[in-house]
């Protein structure tokens, strides 16, 4: 509230209100840096993770060398990779458990690769990637490593320094901060190669022009402090609730497969396939249960999740998959309600589908 009401100046101005706003931004920068183990000056504030990912993928001057991106990355990595015209792009496969195929990565790496972008943990399945191992393999080949850590922060320990990551993407609202704010953190070497994708007044030391959203940035900084302290401490409780959800679904709906279940996963994410039940129909049937499918609607055709198909699921199996996220406020009674709503909707949908009803 002080950033809205009292120190509402433009941080680029040198007068009193401006420098007070800049002080608040500096404090937030230090909070973000301390949360991920980098120097405050390595942090560039952006409008969110989408912009940060675009910057890493399209803005890095690789000297003409190509880029490799994980097959299960967020669309804010995949889409800019697709649209980069001057660099070759390769897609690093994952195994059936959703974990990066490290041998595959090694085979794809050569002197012609300048950047590898692989996320820390997947937004749809929660599958955690072996980030330190990936960094080692990428660096052995002389490329830089960008990691979208949006889903990992506050849920699993993540230290940019210890993991040897060159660029990290963060999003404020994924850790309960204000929406429309995020950051890219880049080491000195990576920053030397990073070019802005938004040009103008030269804010953020020329890396990201435009008047910064100070209140959101202040909130983001505080959210980072809370994520580092309380978020991680809360995770064993969320993991237990997540397990309770999955066991409950198996007991009450039956024939449930946990996508990525064989891998290390975030404590708060569950992606389940309920065999024989179209996920979109289950979601409609389970009123009041706020879950999603990984699918994206494009021109009225429902596309299967690219994450699940990269893990080897076919269109039908992906269409039977639901993604459930727990949050810090989630209680046991919420899990009971979700299991009961989803299981009864699944039984209903299965019955209709078995009876040949088109859904």
Q: Which residues bind ligand PLP (CB under 6 A)?
A: 48-50, 53, 74, 76, 119, 123, 148, 150-151, 171, 182
Rounded to a whole number of angstroms, the CA Rg of the chain reads 21
Long-range contacts of 81-88 (CB under 8 A, 24+ apart): 81/57, 81/117, 83/58, 84/57, 84/58, 87/62, 87/114, 88/112
Nearer to ligand PLP, 125 or 346 (CB): 125
3-state secondary structure of 245: helix
Element (H, E) at 326: none
35 is catalytic: no
**CB neighbours of residue 110 within 10 Å:** 12
Nearer to ligand PLP, 31 or 53 (CB): 53
**In whole angstroms, how close is the CB of 46 to ligand PLP at the nearest point?**
9
Query: 167 with 190: CB under 8 angstroms?
Result: yes
**In whole angstroms, how close is the CB of 260 to ligand PLP at the nearest point?**
14
- Report the sign of the C-alpha dihedral through residues 273, 277, 283, 285, in that order: negative
**In whole angstroms, how close is the CB of 220 to ligand PLP at the nearest point?**
10
3-state secondary structure of 28: helix
**In whole angstroms, how close is the CB of 69 to ligand PLP at the nearest point?**
12
**In whole angstroms, how close is the CB of 250 to ligand PLP at the nearest point?**
27
- CA–CA distance, 235 with 221 (Å, rounded to integer): 20
Nearer to ligand PLP, 274 or 307 (CB): 307
Query: 302 with 274: CB under 8 angstroms?
Result: no
Catalytic choice (35, 38, 164, 297): 297
Active-site positions read 297
């Amino acid at each position: 509230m002080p950033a809205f009401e009292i120190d509402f100046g433009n941080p680029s101005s040198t007068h009193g209100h401006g420098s007070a706003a800049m002080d608040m931004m500096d404090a937030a920068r230090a909070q973000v840096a301390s949360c991920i183990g980098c120097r405050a000056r390595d942090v560039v504030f952006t409008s969110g993770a989408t912009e940060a990912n675009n910057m890493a993928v399209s803005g890095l001057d690789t000297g003409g060398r190509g880029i490799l991106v994980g097959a299960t990355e967020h669309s804010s990595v995949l889409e800019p990779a697709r649209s980069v015209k001057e660099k070759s792009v390769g897609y690093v496969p994952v195994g059936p458990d959703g974990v990066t195929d490290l041998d595959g990565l090694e085979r794809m790496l050569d002197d012609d690769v300048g950047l590898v972008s692989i996320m820390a943990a997947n937004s749809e399945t929660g599958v955690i990637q072996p980030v330190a191992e990936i960094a080692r393999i990428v660096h052995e080949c002389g490329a830089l490593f960008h990691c979208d850590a949006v889903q990992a922060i506050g849920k699993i320990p993540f230290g940019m320094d210890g993991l040897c990551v060159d660029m990290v993407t963060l999003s404020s609202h994924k850790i309960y901060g204000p929406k429309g704010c995020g950051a890219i953190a880049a080491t000195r070497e990576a920053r030397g190669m990073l070019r802005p994708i938004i040009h103008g007044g030269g804010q953020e030391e020329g890396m990201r022009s435009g008047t910064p959203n100070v209140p959101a940035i202040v909130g983001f900084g505080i959210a980072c402090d809370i994520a580092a302290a309380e978020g991680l401490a809360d995770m064993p409780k969320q993991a237990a609730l997540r397990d309770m959800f999955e066991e409950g679904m198996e007991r009450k709906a039956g024939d449930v497969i946990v996508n990525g279940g064989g891998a290390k996963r975030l404590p708060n994410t569950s992606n389940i396939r309920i065999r024989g039940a179209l996920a979109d129909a289950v979601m409609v049937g389970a009123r009041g249960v706020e879950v999603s499918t990984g699918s994206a609607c494009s021109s009225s055709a429902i596309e299967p999740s690219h994450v699940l198909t990269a893990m080897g699921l076919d269109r039908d199996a992906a269409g039977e998959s639901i993604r459930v996220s727990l949050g810090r406020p989630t209680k046991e009674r919420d899990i009971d309600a979700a299991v009961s709503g989803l299981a009864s909707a699944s039984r209903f949908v299965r019955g209709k589908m078995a009876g040949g009803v088109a859904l």
